[in-house]
A and B are shown apart, each in its own frame.
Chain A
Amino acid sequence: MIDLSILSQAYFSREHVARHQLDSYNHFLINNLQKVVDEQRVIETDIESRGKGNEPVSVELGDLKILKPLVREADGSQSELYPGEARLRNITYAAPIQLGLTLVQGGVRHEPVIATIGQLPIMVGSVACNLYGMTDEERTTHGEDPLDPGGYFIVNGTERVLMTLEDLASNKIMTEYTERYSERIYVAKVFSQFRGYRALVVVERNRKNLLEVTFPSVAGHLRFVDMMRALGMTSDADVVRAVSTDEEILTFMMQNLEESECETVECGVMYVGKKLAPNQTRDYQRKRAEFVLDNYLLPHLNYLMPRIVNEEDEECMKIVHSVRLAKAHFLGRMAEACFDLVLDRRRIDDKDHYANKRLKLAGDLMEDLFRISLNRLTRDIKYQLERASMRHRDLSIATAVRADVLTERLLHPLATGNWVGGRTGVSQLLDRVDHMSVLSHLRRVISPLSRSQPHFEARDLHPTQWGRICPSETPEGPNCGLVKNFAQMVEISKGVHSDDEVVRMLYGMGVERIGVEI
């Protein structure tokens, strides 16, 4: 018999207690921070159209760099900041964020300026932390407990932990029954997520075997077949093939096709447009419908979408059309799932199955926060530049960037726990009652379900939590089963970064293309 306690001990070492917090935050620092900046890429201004004889002005965002935590004294001197000092002096353990900004004025590109755009709170023990890579002795000399697991932030001297949030997996087709007017309705749902935007798309079968689609920004239900038309599927055969070639489903599809009122793409788009903006001009309706289809329907398929849709550009429109077709095929899959459920070939999905859960760790939360904060900063920069232009001053990046805007936006949620998106209790004061409570707090998982409702099934210990969530540790009382803790040997996997690799691998495994080139 092998002594497994060695393995167990390895998992319970100082390095491992807050490993998930540190890994996630490091990933955010190294990869996602730059990714968020790249999403923004350019700040366009309206200076051109504002005054007379003005040239277009924009700012390009370049490389982002996080320094080590610093403290700036009242006399202006700066020195390295260690967590112990931050705790004692009630200051924030944060490092300056430096971003390369290039001002483009008319056709002229100015020299890139490196500006400090704000302070990023640094997780104790992460790669940006001053304690990173230190030996126990060095830690001790800097006033740090060598056994402290790290994995938390220090904001105004208080230690704040970001709770791991448990959520239903996005971009996954889930089936369920709902009851409406004492009738059973078969539903296929998808939480489609793309760059922090989350949209619920529903395909359901009503009692007349008709499929209906619901998605944000459109009130009420839309006919499935007409939606497919709007997305570019003209022939009935294509629509049916996108769903299934199964005999029984075919009969269902026939009923749906009969109810359809559209034959062409144009007609489909107008059908959506009429629902969206009744009593408006046809042109406006068409534009609005296309905009909504591209932005609010299944946004997770938008990863190939060009940033700016230029209707003149043929190459660009080709991509847009292929993305729309992809959406049609995805709707087809949802319809099939829905029919499978009707025909008892598929069971409803177990929402409490841990395969259907995704965890939002510190890094993901910081990414959400940073995205919104950076957005605010760019708006502020734009406003500052436009104001400077109005007053006929020389435009300068250094004066347009107000670092406090970003810092304030980053610190406030962390200090209060009121995260972007209105979620509360995301950051909590680290429980230092004893060492064990610290360990437990760093490994806590919170479910977003309301604690005032029973939610019996969600509170149950699910067998798929084996090895992931501790079966014993959960509070008694209203939060029972909703607040969980990681199991000792939990390993948290990350999503794959490169889409291409996955695509290549899938094709290598014999996956066939669905006809369109995406």
Chain B
Amino acid sequence: MPSPKRIGKIEFGLLSPKEIRQMSVRKIIWADTYDDDGFPYPQGLMDLHLGVIDPGLRCKTCSQKSGECPGHFGHIELAKPVIHVGYTRLIRKLLRVTCRECGRLLLSDEEIEKIIGPEEEMGTDSVSEKDVKKERICPHCGEQQLKINFEKPTTFAEITTDDRGKKVENKLTPADIRARLEKIPDDDLQKLGIVGEVARPEWTIMTVLPVPPVTMRPSIILENGQRSEDDLTHKLVDIIRINQRFKENQDAGAPQLIIEDLWELLQYHVTTYIDNEVAGCPPARHRSGRPLKTLSQRLKGKDGRFRGSLSGKRVNFSSRTVISPNPNLSVNEVGIPQKIANEMTIPVQVTTFNIEELRRIVRVGPERPDLKSPCGANYVIRPDKRRIRLVKGTGTEDGNLDFVADQIEVGWIVERHLRDGDIVLFNRQPSLHRMSIMAHWVRLMDGKTFRLNPAVCPPYNADFDGDEMNLHIPQTEEARVEAAMLAAVQENILSPRFGGPIIGGIHDHISGIFLLTHRLRWFTKEETIDLLKNNHVDRLGEPGKVENGIPYWSNKQIFSKILPDDLNMVFRASSCINCDECKRVNCERDAYVQIIDGELISGVIDKKAVGAFDGAILHRIIRQYQYTRAAQFIDDMTRLSIRGIMHDGFTFAIDDEDLSKSDYGQIKEVLHRAAQDVERRIQIFEDGQLEPMPGRTPEETLEMQIMQVLGKARDNTGEIAGRHLGLSNSAVVMAVSGARGSMLNLTQMAGCVGQQAVRGERIMRGYEDRTLPHFKKDDRGAMAHGFVMNSYKSGLDPTEFFFHAIGGREGLVDTAVRTSQSGYLQRRMINALQDLKVAYDMTVRTTGGRIIQFEYGEDSTDPMKSSFGEPVDVEGIVSNILKEEI
């Protein structure tokens, strides 16, 4: 491998004809590619000097084989100069700001100074087209300037006035333009922002066309043995043909008209060769009618060179499959099917210390028989970079395993299979934040899916309805260390977005831990051991109470087993309803959580304590005991909560939505009163008595009032339902603990679904003066505009169902439209921010050194290391020491 070299400087400029001829290894004059024997024509487009693509041949320039020869440029001498389409705007500008006679900038020195400042302190400013008035007189030679017309794609014309005062267009040929551009002195170009040494403007009019190496436009051989040329080759053939004909006609002294036509045709071919999608120019097409993919098309767009091949490319050492959950894994592990583990390898250097182990690995060969057996290897690499594929012997053919194993010496490399304990990168698309790629440790497993702990679903935004994820194997020691130190799951528990934990308990973890820790419960020794059996607990400790000689442990004692010993914190759980005066330890909802010296004294553990996005306990453990202990805690907590939820059982069924008869009566009453209220307000409105709210029409006011009344009515039914349904109801448990759903969902199931809305308004569209033909015209009542009085349990009547579908459709459309929009937004933001960094002087700068922020985030705080945005968690530290609420 050649040693890396430091880049001294990069020069951006135009290729001069001289440079093109210099870098060219061959002048191309024949449009033909291959002769009848399939051998390239000399001086044809496939000339062997331009590089080789066919195996067996050698490049005539560098005498390397195909695959090694990088290819070399050739050139075509154009019969007459043609304009490069990419520079038409520049040419237009230059023609308009310079004199048609002397080529000087059409401004006097004083004027220039006014625009870009005095010569000594000339900055980056330059003269623009607007600074020069049209059709003025040259201040240097006094020549009257003419208006320059530019017509897409490549036509320039001067407007002159003939004797009769009629305007006449005088076409400028590329040769005319070139002659004019040649006259512009370097000093004047400097003022236009052009460095003459590297980019003379006349070089935008091409007299010589570089022919790219064949390696960049390889021909492919179809199944029937026919050669099919690349689009670029096709286009070059066109150019050479026309060029040849042009030359012949020129030499034969053809009439001006024919010369002009051919010139234009040559211009067209060169234009489409460079860009086949220019405005005002029909795209060149293949025989089949498909537009050709020429130079510009190779670079542009999503599948172009930049977005498709350079910033996004396919990689080796990666795999992809469906994911499924496994709560018995640690959060920083990933379960990998054997099939994948047998394909994916890690290169291991042979040393005196591991040579015997690697010999054993090589003897296992390319297929490890089962999960338990030690891993095998697919390839070994000799010090001379030769790869040897390991082949297992079959009944008829001999393998090379033992042979290779004996050959191995220090300095060889063995590409061994993945095995337990390897570190891998795990990713789910769309990769919207850095937690979308995290490092996990490998656990080989049965089955064909990747397995992951459900607690890491939130950062990946994964679920198990068929999601697939990707896995990458770091190949170097440095990469593995970096993965383990920076990308490992535990390092990413805290989100850099808000400084809180993003990994934590979800769904059943929270329901389970809530049920387990709610109020005070006592468990016998057997139950206690059963609950803690998945956790590493050596000692149960003193029982909380002994009754009739039987020892009992409390639920809070059990939870305390997984807490660090000297943890102190006090906070309020999710189920807290913010009473005016907190009853603290005596809270009837058990929402006052108090942990003293690692013992849960009071309070219930729920979303606020251990959930993803909240996780107060988790957050504190990270600050106090670092990430590894936090990962340990998540594992313990999830395992305990799963045991907890299984201890009681947790179901939800249709009869969980049942209410008592009197409740139904009350709900009916509430809704009836609301409907009457609406009617009353409509009456007031129709009588013209309605006092409009400031800045609103009476109609709008009425609508708002109705929405308000009906919203309140729905909430009231929810309250009635909530009164009846206590914590014995699973849905309530989920809503209160924050595991899933809300009381609103429960209200809709048991009480009343409520008003359906489209874009924040009641449903108004439909037939003339009414929504559906089921209602009277001009009915403004609740039912006629989408109020659903029934609950999901009682069932919707047909009109209600339809209104509900209308409301539901809006949600569907919204999500569909939003996802595509936010994706684009994200892309733009990444592009804008990707190269910013915090410099040593603590400013945020671009790669060019421009300052974006004088101080990162204006306070130099890393949100990940902050406590929900605050640089120092004063409250937490103090409460930890005082062991009481602040």
Interface, chain A (partner B; CB < 8 A): 350, 352-353, 454, 456, 459-464, 466, 471-472, 474, 476-478, 480-481
- Do the beta carbons of A464 and B802 come within 8 Å of each other? no
- Do the beta carbons of A476 and B812 come within 8 Å of each other? yes
- Asked if B306 is at the interface (CB within 8 A of a chain A CB), the reply is no
Across-interface contacts of B763 in A (CB, < 8 A): 463
- Do the beta carbons of A471 and B801 come within 8 Å of each other? yes
Question: Of the candidates A463, A474, A481, which one forms a contact with B766 in the assembled complex, judged by CB atoms under 8 Å apart?
Answer: A463
Q: What secondary structure prevails in chain A residues at the interface with B? A: loop
- Asked if B816 is at the interface (CB within 8 A of a chain A CB), the reply is yes
| CB contact under 8 A between A463 and B809, given known A471-B802, A477-B816, A480-B816 | no
| CB contact under 8 A between A481 and B802, given known A463-B763, A464-B766 | no
How far apart are A481's CB and chain B's nearest CB, in angstroms?
5
**Cα–Cα, bound, A148→B817 (Å):** 37
| CB contact under 8 A between A481 and B812, given known A461-B805, A463-B772, A471-B802 | yes
- Asked if B348 is at the interface (CB within 8 A of a chain A CB), the reply is no
- Do the beta carbons of A350 and B813 come within 8 Å of each other? no
- Do the beta carbons of A481 and B765 come within 8 Å of each other? no
Residue of B whose beta carbon sits closest to that of A482: B813
**Cα–Cα, bound, A466→B809 (Å):** 14
**9 interchain residue pairs of minimum CB distance:** A463-B766, A471-B805, A461-B809, A461-B806, A459-B813, A480-B816, A463-B771, A454-B817, A480-B812
- Asked if B810 is at the interface (CB within 8 A of a chain A CB), the reply is yes
Cβ < 8 Å to A, chain B residues 734-777: 758-759, 763, 765-767, 771-773
**Cα–Cα, bound, A454→B814 (Å):** 9
How far apart are B779's CB and chain A's nearest CB, in angstroms?
13
- Do the beta carbons of A463 and B806 come within 8 Å of each other? yes
| CB contact under 8 A between A474 and B758, given known A352-B765, A460-B806 | no
| CB contact under 8 A between A462 and B816, given known A471-B802, A471-B806, A474-B809 | no
Q: What secondary structure prevails in chain B residues at the interface with A? A: helix
- Do the beta carbons of A460 and B801 come within 8 Å of each other? no
**Cα–Cα, bound, A248→B809 (Å):** 43
- Do the beta carbons of B813 and A466 come within 8 Å of each other? no
| CB contact under 8 A between A462 and B766, given known A478-B820, A480-B816 | yes
Across-interface contacts of A352 in B (CB, < 8 A): 765
Across-interface contacts of B765 in A (CB, < 8 A): 350, 352, 460, 462-463
**Cα–Cα, bound, A472→B816 (Å):** 16
**10 more CB-based (< 8 A) A-B contacts, given A456-B759, A477-B816:** A456-B813, A459-B809, A460-B810, A463-B765, A463-B772, A466-B772, A466-B802, A471-B802, A471-B806, A481-B809
- Do the beta carbons of B813 and A481 come within 8 Å of each other? yes
Across-interface contacts of B772 in A (CB, < 8 A): 463, 466
- Do the beta carbons of A478 and B767 come within 8 Å of each other? no
How far apart are A353's CB and chain B's nearest CB, in angstroms?
8
Across-interface contacts of A461 in B (CB, < 8 A): 802, 805-806, 809
- Do the beta carbons of A464 and B809 come within 8 Å of each other? no
Across-interface contacts of B810 in A (CB, < 8 A): 460
Cβ < 8 Å to A, chain B residues 783-833: 801-802, 805-806, 809-810, 812-813, 815-817, 820
**Cα–Cα, bound, A454→B820 (Å):** 10
**Cα–Cα, bound, A456→B810 (Å):** 8
- Do the beta carbons of A463 and B767 come within 8 Å of each other? yes
- 17 inter-chain pairs at a CB distance below 8 angstroms, sorted by A residue, are A352-B765, A353-B767, A459-B813, A461-B805, A461-B806, A461-B809, A463-B763, A463-B772, A464-B767, A466-B773, A471-B801, A471-B802, A474-B809, A474-B812, A476-B812, A480-B812, A481-B813
**Cα–Cα, bound, A464→B802 (Å):** 11
**Cα–Cα, bound, A222→B817 (Å):** 40
**Cα–Cα, bound, A471→B806 (Å):** 7
**Cα–Cα, bound, A28→B240 (Å):** 56
For B766, B771, B820, the residue with the greatest tally of chain A CB atoms inside 10 Å of its CB is B766
**Cα–Cα, bound, A462→B809 (Å):** 10
Across-interface contacts of A464 in B (CB, < 8 A): 766-767
Residue of A whose beta carbon sits closest to that of B807: A461
Across-interface contacts of B771 in A (CB, < 8 A): 463
Residue of B whose beta carbon sits closest to that of A454: B817
How far apart are B686's CB and chain A's nearest CB, in angstroms?
20
How far apart are B575's CB and chain A's nearest CB, in angstroms?
34
How far apart are B763's CB and chain A's nearest CB, in angstroms?
7
Residue of A whose beta carbon sits closest to that of B812: A480
- Do the beta carbons of A460 and B813 come within 8 Å of each other? yes
- Do the beta carbons of B817 and A460 come within 8 Å of each other? no
How far apart are A423's CB and chain B's nearest CB, in angstroms?
19
